[in-house]
Amino acid sequence: MRVLVTGGAGYIGSHTTLALLEQGHDVLVVDDLSNSSRESLARVAELTGRTADFVEANVRDANALESAFASFRPDAVIHFAGWKAVGESTQVPLTYYRENVGSTLTLLETMARHDCHTIVFSSSATVYGELSEPPFTEDAPTGATNPYGRTKHMVEQILADVAAADDQLRVGVLRYFNPIGAHESGRIGEDPKGIPNNLLPFVAQVAAGRREKLMVFGDDYPTPDGTGTRDYIHVVDLAAGHLAALDFLTEHDGYHVWNLGTGRPNSVLEVVNAFGEAAGMEIPYQIVARRPGDVASSYADVSRAHAELGWQAHKSVADACADTFRWQSANPNGYAQD
């Protein structure tokens, strides 16, 4: 299959591009490199012995997208491109609506012009908001609590509307829980710019001595050890979920939503301890006040992805910590050193 991957130079996109190339698919990455570097794709080529085509462009750039579709003629699109920092989205909401919602409109219009009828979209468990208790099934009520989450929720609704109006369209919405880890080679991984927003990259930087200690936001939640619990999904398992969704969509039309998680909650302190074991050291941390907007617990009901896609997570938090430590140790400055 010929797959156009938006945001394919990024964290999840690079791991999925690798999996696509390994499975024999042809890939064109469209990425504006606003949060990534081409080095990730150079390393994907080194690991797979195959090269993804690359166009440096914003997905909102209709002319660039038009010529990418005309020359590559994709059978399907995986749409990762977007901005993803919850805190930042409350500061610059218009940027989030433009980059996340605007880019999707341009993409869907270009797909329609080029008879490309299959799209897999990166959504997020953040769409479940605070309206129900975990484990979340895909039918749980949705309603995000911040601009980032609302962009994801809006794009889901746009995709559902477009699929209802166009019976050729095949849409797979993947609601990721908390992606962590790195490829086991240690050659590709998460390379956040500035202060990491997510737990594992932050812990990894503490272990590497780049940050003094981890702040743990709250230890008085109604969870076994009082710290928040999340469903941490290894990025290599997540990448495999995209291939399973593409496979499903070759056989089924319409609009489909799947949770991608492990179905198991792990607490902040469990992750900190697992990383300490992988790194052979104690991770210094300090308990501070709860962070506004954080929920006590979020984890997936993964039965639909298992039943419909034949997909499930195989890797553990310990695997993810070992892989992140390997990536971080070999690349203390991410991709920047090359």
Question: 180 or 309, CB closer to ligand NAD?
Answer: 180
Question: 148 or 221, CB closer to ligand NAD?
Answer: 148
Query: Shortest Cβ distance from residue 32 to ligand NAD (Å)?
Result: 4
Question: 10 or 74, CB closer to ligand NAD?
Answer: 10
Query: Shortest Cβ distance from residue 198 to ligand NAD (Å)?
Result: 6
Residue nearest to ligand NAD (CB): 10
Distances in Å between the alpha carbon of 263 and those of 29, 221, 233, 270, 300?
31, 20, 9, 16, 5
Query: Shortest Cβ distance from residue 121 to ligand NAD (Å)?
Result: 8
SS (H, E, C) the chain: CEEEEECCCCHHHHHHHHHHHHCCCEEEEEECCCCCCCHHHHHHHHHHCCCCEEEECCCCCHHHHHHHHHHHCCCEEEECCCCCCHHHHHHCHHHHHHHHHHHHHHHHHHHHHCCCCEEEEEEEHHHHCCCCCCCECCCCCCCCCCHHHHHHHHHHHHHHHHHHHCCCCEEEEEEECEEECCCCCCCCCCCCCCCCCCHHHHHHHHHCCCCCCEEEECCCCCCCCCCCEECEEEHHHHHHHHHHHHHHHHHCCEEEEEEECCCCCEEHHHHHHHHHHHHCCCCCEEEECCCCCCCCEECECCHHHHHHHCCCCCCCHHHHHHHHHHHHHHCCCHHHHC
Q: Which of the following is catalytic: 148, 221, 232, 299?
A: 148
Residues 6 or more apart in contact with residue 209 via CB below 8 angstroms: none
Question: 31 or 156, CB closer to ligand NAD?
Answer: 31
Question: 34 or 91, CB closer to ligand NAD?
Answer: 34
Query: Shortest Cβ distance from residue 103 to ligand NAD (Å)?
Result: 4
Q: Is 148 a catalytic residue?
A: yes
Residues of the shown chain interacting with ligand NAD in the complex, contacts defined by CB under 6 A = 6-7, 9-13, 31-36, 58-60, 80-84, 99, 103, 122, 124, 176, 179, 198
Question: 143 or 226, CB closer to ligand NAD?
Answer: 143
Query: Shortest Cβ distance from residue 30 to ligand NAD (Å)?
Result: 6
Query: Shortest Cβ distance from residue 78 to ligand NAD (Å)?
Result: 10
Active-site positions read 148
